[in-house]
Structure formats: C-alpha cells, structure tokens
Amino acid sequence: MINVTIWNEGRHEIESDEVRAVYPNGIHNCIKNFLSINDDLNIRTAVLDDTDNGLPDDVLENTDVLLWWGHMAHECVPDELVEKVYNRVMRGMGFIALHSAHFSKPFKRLMGTTCSLKWRDGDRERLWCISPNHPIAKDIPESFNIPVEEMYGERFDIPTPDEIVFMGWFKGGEVFRSGCCWNRGLGKVFYFQPGHESNPTYHIPEIQKIVTNAVYWVAPGKVIPEVECPWVPSLEEAYDGPNK
C-alpha cells in the first residue's frame, strides 16, 4: 500500500461560487475520487484550515506521497510545517506540486529558486508529451487539448529539471515546461501545471491519468529515519579481504 495524502488549501471552494460549481467537494476530493479506483493507494485528504493545517506529525510521517494544491493562502502555511514537509521529502517522501503550488512554500523550499512565471486566465492549452517512455507518460497521448486553462508561461524560474515530461502550448503565444521531475534528497518531486481552480481540468481523463501515474512514480524507493553528516573511519584501514 502507498499512503497518499492530498493537501488542499481549500479556500477558493468556500469563498467562490464559481469554483464550488466546478469542485463542489473541493479539489482534494475530486482528486481523491479518481485516485480511489486504485486498490493499492491508501488515500487521505487534508486542508489548510484543519487542525495542525491537516498535517500533524503522525500523518506526515505516515505519508508516502503528498500532493499539494495551494494558491491564495500560501503565506498561511506555517514555516515550521514547511520545514517538516521538506525534511520528510529528504527522507524519501514523494511530493507532487499542482498548478499554483509553483508558488507554495514547500515547493519553493525544495527548488531553491523563485519559481516565478507569467500568467493569464482563460487561455486554451495543448499539452505535449516529450518523454513518451517515462512512467508518468504511460497511456497518455502525444498531445491533447485543455479547452480552458490558466496560461503559465516561460520563463519559469526553476532549477534545470532532471526530466521534462510535458510541455504546454498556449493559444495566446506562450510555451511552458508543464510537467517536470526532480530528485531532492531521497524524495522525488513532480510539478504539473494544469489545474486552475475555476476550470474543470481535474475532470479530464488524461489529466487524471497523469496525476495517477505521478503518484506511483514519486512513491518512495527508499526511506531513512534521518539524514546525518557522519564521521567515518577509513575503509582501507579497516579492509581485511573480499567483500568487507
């Protein structure tokens, strides 16, 4: 079983009729629904306004994959929690930053850059897959349309991705590295650009498949209890024969 926690800011859905019309139970529950067809995923949701911002230590420690959607309230996430999320990724947790989470504290903490970009509401996007043999691209067509999506345009101020899986084309004239992978510590990180709160993007089957693939891809291969910076004895002085 992979323990998945879907974290959502969850405020747009409360404050905006328009957003609630698209995601009546919140973005987190929409994502939970489409992930739930997979029997090997043990899925929780959490929102900013839950106790401990939805991520008390026991939840975070028992999370293998954390999805993060945030936008209007990035600053309400306590720095202490950000450090805990960062530390958990270092020890092996997978992290998926969705759409406006490009500017979330945990994602910026993991990137070490501003994660700035250009934006404009209400454009049309065509998503292109440039790494068709990547696990996150499994069963995804070479390109497909997202009828209405927020334009995110280059230059996206991110570190060079370890792998670029998707690139976005926008009718208004922009391009974007829309699906990017990084290794951070023992954790894997995936950023995925589509998913504006007032557009029904998470209802699109291809988008659901990509998010699902990403959950499996960032799931930890190895987890460690803590990271140290150890003194070590000389291996050569200790060497006394084959395979020691």
Please, are residues 71 and 166 in contact by the beta-carbon 8 Å criterion?
no
- Of 241, 214, 222, 228, residue with least CA distance to 41: 214
Q: Which residue, 56 or 200, has its beta carbon nearer to its own copies?
A: 200
In angstroms, give the least distance from the CB of 50 to its own copies: 26
In angstroms, give the least distance from the CB of 86 to its own copies: 8
Q: Which residue, 24 or 159, has its beta carbon nearer to its own copies?
A: 159
In angstroms, give the least distance from the CB of 85 to its own copies: 12
Q: Which distant-in-sequence residues (6+ apart) come within 8 Å of 1 by Cβ?
A: 40, 41, 42
Q: What token pair was written down for 154? A: 């280059």
- Of 79, 84, 89, 136, residue with least CA distance to 110: 89
Q: Which residue, 52 or 83, has its beta carbon nearer to its own copies?
A: 83
- Of 70, 45, 64, residue with least CA distance to 55: 45
In angstroms, give the least distance from the CB of 242 to its own copies: 4
Q: Which residue, 76 or 120, has its beta carbon nearer to its own copies?
A: 120
